[in-house]
């Protein structure tokens, strides 16, 4: 499945919040950063399946992956291959918290 992203960058006091949408806004994902600039998925919403707040243990992207994520967000044009890898990695780290049917429908598993 080809996933095309469009992002909106939002700032919240004390942290950066990054919003990625894809598949004509069918999926919205909110990522945040730790004080060490490590990126983690905070919330994901799937059309037809609802929104899922990630709770419990926070699974952060590695330092290199977090740097790549932030570099892409800062760029004018997202590298779709890089973002697809990073987003899928984040989703798969937290897959137990999401509806498996939603993950299958939207090509994450």
The model's pLDDT over 28-75, given as tens digits with 9 standing for 90+, comes to 999 999 999 999 999 999 999 999 999 988 899 999 999 999 998 888
Of the pLDDT bands very low, low, confident and very high (cuts 50, 70, 90), residue 10 is low
Query: Whole-angstrom Cα distance, residue 57 to residue 5?
Result: 26
| pTM for the whole structure | 0.86
- Mean predicted confidence (pLDDT) in 12-21: 74
Cα torsion through 96, 101, 102, 108, rounded to 10: 70
């Amino acid at each position: 499945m080809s996933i095309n992203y469009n992002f909106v960058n939002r700032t919240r006091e004390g942290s950066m919040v990054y919003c990625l949408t894809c598949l004509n806004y069918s999926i919205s994902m909110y990522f945040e950063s730790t004080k060490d600039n490590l990126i983690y998925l905070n919330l994901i919403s799937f059309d037809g399946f609802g929104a899922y707040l990630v709770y419990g243990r926070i699974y952060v992207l590695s330092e290199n992956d977090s740097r790549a994520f932030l570099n892409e967000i800062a760029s004018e044009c997202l590298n779709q291959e890089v973002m697809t890898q990073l987003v899928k990695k984040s989703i798969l780290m937290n897959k137990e918290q999401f509806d498996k049917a939603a993950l299958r429908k939207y090509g994450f598993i």
